[in-house]
Amino acid sequence: MHRYRTLIVVGAVSILLAFFPIIGVPQTWILYLFYFFVFLAAANMWNLLAGFSGLLALCPAAFIGMGGYIMTILTWVEIPYYFGIVAGGIAAALFAMLISVPVFRMKGIYFAIGTLVVPAILRLVFLRWRPVGSELQGGGAGYMVKGIDSIPAEISYWLALAIGLASVIIIWAILRSKFGLGLAAIRDNDVSAQSLGVDVFRLKLSSFFIAAFVMGIAGAIFYSYQGYIEPNSAFDIRWLMIVLLATVMGGIGLEWGPFVGTIIVVILQFQLARYAGISLLIQGVILVIIMLVAPQGLLGLIRNLRSQRRIRLST
């Protein structure tokens, strides 16, 4: 029972949150929570890659944008958006498997740079995509999500809650499995892990696949709510900044780090909206300050302070 205490608490809180649209919680709170759930899912998956697997993948925008685009395009061929959301996750996961062939040949900073250019390439591809001969035209101008008027706001909220909750459960399960132990060994030293019989490539590919799938679904849910998608926003570096801030501020490699960091990121997103021109610069400065002052994140800083306090009390 002690092992599942966290899941019980998370489940109880999720049930309470699910009633928010029904009991008349202000729409501002619903909007904040929607963004929180989507960002939390993306941040948890990036923490799975960078924090637990040692994969500094700088391409979350590729998976999020891919999921959003697949969902949107499928609505244009009369496929309901809820099927499109699942298809978006699958497409993002398959795309991750495709790019894993070249990028997994790279190590360290070269892997990071290799993944960083992937969203930029996708942005250029979709900017120049001009389907003709059908009503599916727009290309770089973007697309409206068809049938979006029939999606109640509370459905989008519940979908976001579901993917946020799923990301928490996935991380919880992985960290308490042999899969998680293998990822920890790879993160610490992949050469030593391989010499001990750990299938490094399979575990890295699995974490890459899982992260892409969840991010793809999160992206599809986000753009189904937005009702519109275009290349510059879908594959924007802002998505990378969001997961970086959420994970680093909360504590990279810590189970609840992205949860704390995402709360701060959502607040920053809305407070910095008035400074749209320099919001990325402000977020970058905040990120650098956090990395200098608390390199292990806010949760890591609190943990260290508690450890020092216990040491002082014991002496």
Tell me the average pLDDT across 250-272: 92
What average pLDDT does the chain have? Answer: 89
Whole-angstrom Cα distance, residue 58 to residue 244? 9
Check if the beta carbon of residue 239 is closer than 8 Å to that of residue 64: yes
Q: Regarding predicted confidence, which is higher, 191 or 83?
A: 83
Q: Residue 24: its pLDDT value, please?
A: 86
pTM of the model: 0.93
Whole-angstrom Cα distance, residue 34 to residue 269? 13
Whole-angstrom Cα distance, residue 173 to residue 10? 13
pLDDT tens string 278-315:
887 888 888 888 888 888 888 888 888 887 878 777 76
Amino acid at 139: G
Domain ranges in the chain? 5-235
Share of the chain above pLDDT 70, in %: 95
Check if the beta carbon of residue 82 is closer than 8 Å to that of residue 26: no
Chain Cα centroid distance, residue 250:
14
pLDDT tens string 107-148:
889 999 999 999 999 999 888 876 645 555 556 678 888 877
